[in-house]
Chains A and B, each alone.
Chain A
Amino acid sequence: EAGVAQSPRYKIIEKRQSVAFWCNPISGHATLYWYQQILGQGPKLLIQFQNNGVVDDSQLPKDRFSAERLKGVDSTLKIQPAKLEDSAVYLCASSKDRGRETQYFGPGTRLLVL
């Protein structure tokens, strides 16, 4: 069974530029999560989708971050405009459903904002 796929793996941009990350969850997984992991810290949940609906986005800085999950499968996370403090690893995870289901993480996209 293929795991969670993310692209790109690395991205370097200048501040105030925009960037987008893509996530393809495990086939059949209804729930998708985006996390931000700053160096030396644990992951911080940004947004949780159930199929193509948003369950929780209370930690998503909505003035610059946006996310969508069209057709309840793939998802994109966008930052526009980027700030220096957005430098982090962006992790995507998926689970069969909400609740007690195990989350499976992708390898992450490492973003450096200069």
Chain B
Amino acid sequence: EDQVTQSPEALRLQEGESSSLNCSYTVSGLRGLFWYRQDPGKGPEFLFTLYSAGEEKEKERLKATLTKKESFLHITAPKPEDSATYLCAGTIYNFNKFYFGSGTKLNVKP
């Protein structure tokens, strides 16, 4: 069964305390792995797309990486404004289906 699993479900960090979020997938013929940020009461906001194992992308304090079985979202020196739920999603070869994980709720304390 195609699915995406995220861990941990929730993560509390102190401001400046770096950490990583995990997204493991069992999607046959994965063609793309996406990371989104979702704030309460809002729709997901696109962060990154990764297409092949070994690929890395960065944006400010965030860095996404992809292996053949999982993806990581590394957060370096987070700030309180990075508090949100981070979602990952995988899509298959024909981009007909998108499988989202349940997300990691990040809380960064000042």
Give the interface size class of chain A.
Answer: 20 to 34
Q: Is the Cβ of A42 less than 8 Å from the Cβ of B100? A: yes
Task: Name which of A60-68, A69-77, A78-86, A92-100 contacts chain B.
Answer: A92-100
Are B43 and A108 neighbours in the complex by a CB distance under 8 Å? yes
- Of B46, B87, B96, which one neighbours A48 at CB under 8 angstroms? B96
Question: Which 8 A/B pairs are nearest by Cβ-Cβ distance?
Answer: A105-B43, A42-B100, A56-B96, A43-B100, A105-B44, A42-B102, A102-B46, A99-B95
Q: Which residues of A, 22-51, contact B by the 8 Å Cβ criterion? A: 33, 35, 40-45, 48
| A interface with B by C-beta (< 8 Å) | 4, 33, 35, 40-45, 48, 55-56, 58, 91, 93, 98-100, 102-108
Question: Would you list 7 pairs from A and B whose C-beta atoms are within 8 A, ordered by A residue?
Answer: A42-B89, A42-B103, A45-B98, A100-B51, A103-B98, A108-B42, A108-B43
> How many A-B contacts if CB must be within 8 Å?
50
Which of B41, B43, B51, B101 has the largest count of A CB atoms less than 10 A from its CB?
B43
Range of interface residues on chain B?
Answer: 20 to 34
Interface residues of B (CB under 8 A from A): 4, 6, 32, 34, 36, 41-46, 49, 51, 87, 89, 95-98, 100-103
Q: In the complex, A43 Cα to B97 Cα: how many Å?
A: 12
Give the distance to chain A from B29, nearest Cβ to Cβ, in Å: 14
Once bound together, how far apart are the Cα atoms of A108 and B42, in whole Å? 7
**Among A42, A43, A55, A106, contact of B96 (Cβ-Cβ < 8 Å):** A55
From A41, A102, A107, contact of B43 by CB (8 A): A107
A58 to B49, CA, bound (A): 24
The residue on B at minimum CB distance from A98 is: B95
State which of B45, B95, B101 has its C-beta within 8 Å of the C-beta of A42: B101
Chain B residues, Cβ within 8 Å of A107: 41-43
- CB of A53 to closest CB in B, whole Å: 13
Shortest beta-carbon distance from A103 to chain B in Å: 7
Given contacts A42-B4, A108-B42, 10 further A-B contacts (CB under 8 A): A41-B102, A42-B89, A42-B102, A43-B87, A100-B32, A103-B98, A104-B46, A105-B36, A105-B43, A106-B43
